Structure 1
Amino acid sequence: MGIVGTGTDGTDGTEDMDGTAGERGRLINVAYRLLGSVTEAEDAVQEAYARWYGLPGSRREEILSPGAWLTTVTGRVCLDLLGSARARRERYVGAWLPEPLPDRAQWDRAGSSAGPGDPADRIVLDESVAMAFLVVLESMTPAERVAFVLHDVFRYPFAEIAGVLGRTPAACKQLAASARRRVETGRGPAPATGRADVVRHVKEAWETKDVAALVGLLDPAAVMTADGGGTVGTVLRPVEGGARVARYMVAVADRAPGLELLERSVNGVPGLVARKDGVVVTVAAFDVADGRVARIWVVRNPEKLRPWTGDFPEAPQGPPRHA
């Protein structure tokens, strides 16, 4: 895929002097895929830059490729964060899901509370940030995830990845192969228009509280997973089975009168956003297979919805640009 961030760098101009300013967008893209968190990705990149400028000037001048150095350090910081994240997520209330991202056009319309240099504004939306893919990445060990993302997504050679993981290139190759086996290869993604149509029908059935229609749109083995972070009410365990998911969705609609549903791109693929009194309270991502919804990931944790703050006016619908 060879994904490279192309947005603004959000620096204060200091890094421009040594040519590292343009690396920030790429590093944010790498870190978000490794961590599934915009905030943690920004922290990891900031730490890498801090270490870069903590080097003596003479040492920095000796480094032939500052970008490669920053990538290695960012990868190591992410590796450490992934290790500690496992312990933190054991204490997390309910399921932990990656932070959902709006489409760039939606982001531009809404405006960022953190300003135009916010890192979420620079993440390239493609299949490697789709919620389905990020959830698979969560099943990997930290070392597998780093090896897989750096090699299979960003096309870094194993010789460079070895410097991040502190292992031999051969060992890194084995880690990536192990991670690759975890990624589902049995079916390809549904066409963009097909996904959008299914999600639109789900929206319509949800709004009318039509349980039968929802059951018809959901795979019999569909699973809904919700992330409230312990700060808002939501189901703590996955809801399994299309009929149970449909009944749960209607029950939620009954308990939340006045909820406004909008069709929006979520991490580059069609999804739904729920607003209450003009405030985004829920972002739902969907995995569609064979014309039916197989998985629904619902993010309600307010800390993970910060990129969705602001006013989201009605926008032309259709396949997202990066689908």
Structure 2
Amino acid sequence: MAKDWSSQLNQVNFQCRLCRHAWEGPPDLIEDDPEAEHHPYRYFADCPRCDSPKQPQAGWARALLKAHQAATGPVTPKGKAATAANLAGHPTPEETLRTRFNAMKHGMAARTATYFPAKPDRYAFCEGCEVNRLWCSEQPACVKQTEIFMLHHAAFEQRNPKVLGKLHADLQASLTASLQMLLQSVLGDGVVIKTPRVELSREGVPVALTYTDAAGEVHHIYDYRANPAFKPIADLVTRLGLSMGDLGLTVRAGESEEDRMAGTLKLDQASKETLVEFNQRMAVGVEAMRERLGRAGQRMRADPVLIEHQAQQQAEDRRTGGKAE
């Protein structure tokens, strides 16, 4: 049975107009409001924080009453059947993975509240936060940090790094902006830092080293060293993948394919062959080699000089009885 939103409420959400405190509780005063057809009552209560009397019902809560009253849903059998048909086959496995964290609200994870409890304007990142400070102070954990916390949990649970795409894009942009500011600072301070050379005297007093030239003019001795910010800049460029090689802007990357292939054997399309064709050609060559070796052996055994030499050797063996002289 549908709820009657036109009846009086026992629990109402209020917000103080003076201290902006928000709370929920029974109303202290109920007035008739016949002009509001969706809910003909107005609710008031005394603020428990600053004791301001007759604070009204929160605007969003009153607007929600009107929305509930207007949202009747389908009433005809055809409309109800169409609504049921829309739900057929849902949720899919993909939708289940995507929506199973919908019920999680800020601060539900105790670890988030432990790491980042709600402290309005007490974190460094609070300055640019658009969350209402009064509302934030009533939460168990920082809303923004809890969002990051839950995004990482969803990415690991679903094994889907795309969930962190927007977060990593913002991080990459921030790192690039930091790199630009660092470069501007280095260029402003100078790429080479010049400092006077100082040593301790016998009395332990630091003394700047000087020398006197032939004209009797005194000159200070300076040490010159590269700006120490160069190393972190180089490390940051490497980690961000912004080097010339990573961006494909090196001299070799700019060469054409023909320039890179200079000095190698170039074959036209007609001269190229596949691996299968090469194996077939090698198999034919091996078979032909076997036939050539067989014919060479036959010609060697039929050689008259070899035959005469073998006959002489056999006669010599019979004369000596196979013993060497």
Q: What TM-score bracket applies, with the shorter chain setting the length? A: under 0.3
With CA pairs under 8 Å and 6+ residues apart, which has the higher RCO, 1 or 2?
1
What TM-score, normalized to structure 2? 0.19
Larger Rg: 2
What TM-score, normalized to structure 1? 0.19
